[in-house]
Copies of this chain bind each other. A is one copy, B any other.
Amino acid sequence: MEKLQKGYLFPEISMKHEAHLKKYPDAKVISLGIGDTTEPIPRVITSAMAEYALALSTPEGYQGYGPEQGQMNLRKVIAEKVYPNMGIKESEVFISDGAQCDIARLQMLFGPNVTIAVQDPTFPGYADNGVIVGQTGEADEVGKYAGISYMRCAPENHFFPDLSRVPRTDLRELVDFARRNGSIIVFDAAYAWYVSDEEEAGGGNNKKPRSIYEVPGAREVAIEICSISKFAGFTGVRLGWAVVPVELRYADGSPVARDFDRIVCTCFNGASSVAQAGGLACLATEEGRAAVRRVVGVYKENARVLVDTFASLGKVYGGADSPYVWVRFPGRRSWDVFAEILEKTHVITVPGSGFGPGGEGFVRVSAFNSRDRVLEAAARLRKYLA
């Protein structure tokens, strides 16, 4: 615990937010910081949760402990609807209370005696959970922990570590690398829903991949974690899953899924049954899926507005198949830019360096807010940049 650096990134930003409000009590602060959903959840989903909750008051509808791995009907729907034609079986889907919690459980599973490599920048939970379970030494002055391999991701390599240039080929090379190297890939697909249906540049019938399991051979090397937080607005309701295919085995041939199942049964007790009822309504019917796709569309349009806002700088990345926009401020420190933007525009962003040393010089701007607020923030930011 002592090795962990300062606070966890997002609570740290909350504190800066509160301090700013104390300094400017009348400021209309707009948060484009943490990726927190703001659009209401479609009624078809909340009705299912309400109905499930009310039924818990009846002898017929009451349910106690569910299976630790999640309700089988939900696991089945995920296997069929999220992973069509990818050979994922319902028994390989473990329902969870969100991707962040699965990261911790996976790190508990891996334990201290593994070497991990993370993209840099990346979601801070990966490195931090590695520190907690004892995989690392101390952090150096830029925040790199000894024992973690940081794979630099920057505009120069299309934000993909050293393997290739086109997304599809990237993933294919990653899978091949893991197969040769005896590595396990943990593929975080929490934003898969933001990947457009359009074909990749270059044509062919190469649709952009949303799941690692679209890549041949991935079942033998990859765990995928996912969540409906950013898809259906479940950031507070909490629902996600991990896929651990049976073909994924340790060097001695024993299945990783057996150990993960043991972790889920011992360290966890299943996701809230009410949240699972909501997840089922979201994924099982075309009505549910269409409703949440409309919500995703709102955030994607927000992202487009933000990309345009920063376009004049010429250093803006992402925001196309993602709800986040990364903006580079060459020669400057992320936290300084964060502070300056907050001071001059009352807009909260996230310093890129909070995601790892590779994020230094960037700020991340989130598309998760109402259209009105995003437009207002965009207007203030344009003035600031001018």
Instruction: Report which A residues bind B (CB closer than 8 A).
Output: 1, 4, 7-8, 10-11, 34, 36-43, 45-47, 49-51, 53-59, 61-66, 68, 97-98, 100-101, 103-104, 108-109, 111-112, 125, 128-129, 132-134, 233, 235-238, 259, 262-263, 265-275, 278, 368
Q: Which residue of B lies closest to A97 (CB)?
A: B97
| Across-interface contacts of A34 in B (CB, < 8 A) | 65
Contact A40 B57 (CB under 8 A): yes
Question: Quick one: copies of this chain in the complex?
Answer: 2
Q: Closest residue to A265 on the B side, CB-wise?
A: B8
13 contacts between A and B (CB under 8 A): A1-B109, A1-B259, A4-B262, A38-B62, A40-B59, A49-B274, A50-B51, A63-B236, A64-B235, A65-B235, A97-B238, A103-B267, A104-B268
CA distance A43 to B55 in the complex (A): 9
Residues of B within 8 A of A62 (CB): 38-41, 233
Closest residue of B by beta carbon distance from A68: B11
Give, as a whole number of angstroms, the nearest-CB distance from A69 to chain B. Answer: 10
* In the complex, chain B residues whose CB is within 8 Å of the CB of A134: 111-112, 134
Residues of the B chain whose Cβ atoms lie less than 8 Å from the Cβ of A238: 97, 269-273
Please state if A125 and B57 are interface contacts (CB–CB under 8 Å).
Answer: no
Task: For A8, list chain B residues within 8 Å (CB).
Answer: 262, 265-266
Q: A10 CB to closest chain B CB, in angstroms?
A: 8
Measured between beta carbons, the chain B residues less than 8 angstroms from A45 are: 57
A11-B68, A39-B62 given; A273·B236 CB < 8 A:
yes
The 10 A-B pairs at the shortest CB distance, nearest first, are namely A104-B267, A50-B50, A236-B273, A49-B53, A36-B64, A272-B272, A64-B235, A8-B265, A40-B62, A46-B57
